[in-house]
Structure 1
């Protein structure tokens, strides 16, 4: 596990105070904020990729064709 140091600003200090106002340690709050930021970024990237695929007419056509083919062999 690594140790990091950052240059804080008034905005960061205020945000950190808000994140720790219920007793959470600064380290725990920072770790949680980083994890949540990464999760948010990952979800945004997945959303953007899904939107790109939704707009890709060739991909949509291929997916529909495959779905139709699979419907014919499905036991249900």
Structure 2
């Protein structure tokens, strides 16, 4: 596992204070925030991919076939 040092500003200090108010350590709060940011990025990319695929009629047919195979359509 690697170590990361981060310089904070006033806004970051306020955010960390709020995120640790429930008893979490700074490390736990930062890890959680990074994982949430990463998840949000993956969701945004998945939505963009879905929009791109949905625009192509051939891809839409394949998606429908997959959904039927999975029993969700």
Same fold (TM over 0.5): yes
Q: What's the offset of the Cα at 1:56? A: 1.9
Q: Which residue of 1 aligns with 2:46?
A: 46
- TM-score when normalising by structure 2: 0.78
Q: Which residue of 1 aligns with 2:57?
A: 57
In terms of Rg, which structure is larger? 1
Q: What's the offset of the Cα at 1:46? A: 0.5
Cα distance in 1 for residues equivalent to 2:34 and 2:19? 12
Aligned structure 1 segments of 4 or more residues deviating by more than 3 angstroms: none
Q: Which residue of 2 aligns with 1:27?
A: 27
Q: Deviations over 1:46-66 (max 9, x none)?
A: 011001111123423x527x8
Cα distance in 2 for residues equivalent to 1:15 and 1:56? 42
Unmatched segments (≥5 aa) in structure 2: 69-73
